[in-house]
Amino acid sequence: MSSLRLGAAVALLALPLAVALTDTHLEGQSAALVISTAAAALAVSALALQPLLAGTGRLRWHRMLGGIALALVLLHLGALYLESPEDTLFALSLDGPTRGRMAALATAALIAVVALGVLRRRLPMASATWRILHGFLAGLVIFLGFGHAILTDGALDGFGTPVLLAFGAVALVGVGSAFAARRRRARSSAAASR
């Protein structure tokens, strides 16, 4: 990759963070809220990139970024807890708003996706079963996580909303194309071995 393309990719990936940190929503807010928001904005970029890494066979990067994405989401949640334990627990409770429910389910699905990744070789399932489950749960993480972000009034409002929609769309299309790429590779290797 040329340095120009690398620079463009980094700039694109930094877009959610830049939008969030320059939003008026964070003016005068605590360090915990700024850290929480920054972690969430970086997770947006990480989740959008993940399916593309998997689909293009960059599995080492895919594994590393998966761990980073989970760490960012947990940092987002932990910093919110520091900001206000009561509001955080309420948002995640059964009486919490829909966006809180989406966040809780997205986090659970992300933990499951990462656990599937870590335990891949030890799980007694066919590799196709594993792939469908991993990809399905990843799609769920994207739908619920981006849905949560879009429904939330916060630093990714305004210009942040089309950014979230675009990154979410890239992520979901990425999951589909990762499956398509895998099928193409399987077919061509089957043809080659004939």
Partner 1 sequence: MHDRPSRPWLLALVLVVITGGVAYALLSSEPSGTDAANVGDSGRGEAPDPEERQCKATRSNPGGTNNYIPDGPAAESLGDGFIITGRVRAAADCKPLEDLRIQVWLATETGGEQDNRASVHTDADGVYRIETDPTVAQFGEPNIHVGYDDGDYREVFIRRVVDLDDKRAVVNLTLRR
The answer to whether 131 touches 124, Cβ cutoff 8 Å, is no
Nearest-approach distance from CB 9 to partner 1, in angstroms: 30
Neighbours of 56 (CB within 10 A): 14
Among 3, 60, 121, 126, contact with partner 1 (rule: CB under 8 A) = 126
| Residue 91 interacting with partner 1 (CB under 8 A) | yes
Tell me: does residue 37 bind partner 1 (CB under 8 A). Answer: no
Q: Least CB distance from residue 184 to partner 1, whole Å?
A: 13
| Cα separation of the two ends of the chain | 34
By the rule CB under 8 A, 31 interacts with partner 1: no
* Of the candidate residues 7, 59, 90, 184, the single one contacting partner 1 (CB under 8 A): 90
- And the tokens for 61? 């990067």
For residue 173, CA distances in Å to 16, 18, 79 come to 19, 24, 31
Helix (H) or strand (E) holding 37: helix 31-55
Within 6-25, which residues bind partner 1 (CB under 8 A)?
25
As given in the structure block, the two tokens for residue 181 are 């790429």
Asked if 36 interacts with partner 1 (CB under 8 A), we say: no
Q: How many residues bind partner 1 (CB under 8 A)?
A: 36
Least distance between partner 1 and beta carbon 5 (Å): 33
